[in-house]
Amino acid sequence: MTPPIGFYFDFLSPYAYLGSIEVEKLAASRGRTVEWRPILLGISVLKVMGLKAVPDTPLKGDYAAHDWPRCARLLGIAHRPDAKVQFASLAAMRAFAWLNDRDAELARAFGRAIFRAHWAEGRDMSAPEAVAAEAEPLGILPASLLAAIASQAVKARLRSHVDAALAAGVFGAPTFAVDGELFWGADRIGQVERWIETGGW
Amino acid sequence: MTPPIGFYFDFLSPYAYLGSIEVEKLAASRGRTVEWRPILLGISVLKVMGLKAVPDTPLKGDYAAHDWPRCARLLGIAHRPDAKVQFASLAAMRAFAWLNDRDAELARAFGRAIFRAHWAEGRDMSAPEAVAAEAEPLGILPASLLAAIASQAVKARLRSHVDAALAAGVFGAPTFAVDGELFWGADRIGQVERWIETGGW
């Protein structure tokens, strides 16, 4: 059994969307699995760091708005350059944390659907009702999802994921974890591949 | 005449050091020249953005301290992982701006020397006297350099470089400019090469 590649993500990041596709592709080609690890970038991690969200950061916000679609075009990944960057991802992240404890495979399918709906189809996935509607075709009852994401247990579970990520030194999304090494940024997938290939350098 | 590749840098960034080597190599292989463009990342650009320096940023500082030597090893670039990250680069940046107006070729040789002394040899290049001593083997009189970097004209000249970079949307180092496109980060050199090869995508 080879260990999984860790994939720290927050749906709010278009780079995490690109990373989700690249890391699944890489893992498949190397006989590895991917362990999706939810973090709350905007409302938790960046606060610990004392940073603003990228879209709200002068200069960098404009750059990212131009850069992520440019990266997507290069990678051949479907995208909507006009997708809403102020993505309040909390409901979707809680839903992921809830599903992940029940069925990690289903949670990943849900994750791919949310990423695609928001960043490739331009449908805002901020509202709990939008998240529930997106999950329904996967066999998830909307009422169950809405009840779960409002529960204290699921909030606490997601919080524990975030705390574990911070303790591991994660500060951005996507971050990939392979054999104890962290690689931050969708553009580091080549280094992740190299690390797996060579066992490190 | 093909246009030069713009290379925005501040000596204080170990990623700019890696980028300086990678961009010169790329330009040589593609028959392009590199135009080094000085910015003041720590004391100017990050303030505009409302950010702290990377070494002072929780989590990210620790990551970068581990990551830049890891990148250097992968690229086969000489480096000292224990080089001082609190590099007060103002004197060296002013010296670059002064030299660059006299002789851009000499300024680049000076730039390479400063980067190497600090990040590959671990000798702190913060003090004006250290900068002047490093420049002397290139035929630059220490007294002339020290007088130049204390002059209002050179301070204003460097300021104008920084203002031009901010106006162009530059917010980090290294940033590469090719055919009107900006690419931020040493790890984007592959995209710069691809852009040159294909004319863009």
Q: What is the mean pLDDT of residues A8-22?
A: 98
Q: What is the mean pLDDT of residues B103-116?
A: 98
B194 neighbourhood in chain A, CB within 8 Å: 74
Nearest to A74 by CA among B181, B170, B74, B33: B181
pLDDT in tens, A178-188: 999 999 999 99
Q: What is the mean pLDDT of residues B83-108?
A: 97
| Nearest Cα residue in chain A from B167 | A59
Contact between A187 and B188 using a beta-carbon 8 Å cutoff: yes
Task: Report percent pLDDT > 70 for chain A.
Answer: 100
Confirm if A184 and A172 have CB atoms less than 8 A apart: yes
A3: which DSSP letter?
A: P
Contact between B59 and A52 using a beta-carbon 8 Å cutoff: no
pLDDT of residue B70: 98
A57 neighbourhood in chain B, CB within 8 Å: 49-51
Across chain A, what does the average pLDDT equal?
96
Interface test with A, best of B41, B51, B166 (most A CBs within 10 A): B51
User: Could you tell me the pLDDT band of residue B1, with boundaries at 50, 70 and 90?
Assistant: low
User: Could you tell me the pLDDT band of residue B183, with boundaries at 50, 70 and 90?
Assistant: very high
Q: What is the mean pLDDT of residues A143-169?
A: 97
CA R_g for chain B: 16
Among the residue ranges A39-43, B152-156, B187-191, B192-196, the one predicted with the least confidence is: A39-43
A45 pLDDT more than 90: no
pLDDT of residue A47: 84
pLDDT of residue A1: 66
Contact between B194 and A74 using a beta-carbon 8 Å cutoff: yes
Please give, rounded to a whole number of angstroms, the shortest distance from the CA of A188 to a CA of chain B: 8
A147 touches chain B (CB under 8 A): no
Please give, rounded to a whole number of angstroms, the shortest distance from the CA of B13 to a CA of chain A: 17
A118 pLDDT more than 90: yes
What pTM does this model have?
Answer: 0.96
ipTM higher than the 0.90 cut: yes
B45 or B159: which leads in pLDDT: B159
Sign of CA dihedral A36, A40, A46, A49: negative
pLDDT in tens, A80-115: 999 999 899 999 999 999 999 999 999 999 999 999
| Nearest Cα residue in chain B from A46 | B58
pLDDT in tens, B28-87: 999 999 999 999 998 888 888 888 889 989 999 999 999 999 999 999 999 999 999 989
Q: Tell me the C-alpha distance between B179 and B175, whole Å.
A: 13
